[in-house]
Amino acid sequence: MTSPKRQTSSAAREQRQSWRPIAEALGVSRQAAWSAHTAAAETIDAIRSRSELTEDEAATRAAQALREVREVRGACRMCSPADP
């Protein structure tokens, strides 16, 4: 989840909003909103626990790590068994 989307979902959750309006605002299912928010929060917490980074710095690094994972997954999907 990108930082603005994470900030939106975090702010809404702090205001005790249910996942339905959050998901609708993000254009995803409730499950997808919850999953992305939870995964992002866990990744940021893991990065922060291993460093002296601020939450924003950890979020930036988490977003970069996610982009790298998506690039690798995308590259793997483009490969065919016939490729060397």
Contact between residue 45 and residue 56 where contact means Cβ atoms under 8 Å apart: no
User: What is the DSSP code (8-state) at residue 50?
Assistant: T
**Could you write out the three-class secondary structure of 10-40?**
HHHHHCCCCHHHHHHHHCCCHHHHHHHHHHH
Judge whether residue 66 has pLDDT over 80. no
Of the pLDDT bands very low, low, confident and very high (cuts 50, 70, 90), residue 84 is very low
Domain boundaries in the chain?
A: 3-78
| Average pLDDT of the residues of the chain | 75
Compute the average pLDDT of residues 26-44. 79
Compute the average pLDDT of residues 8-23. 79
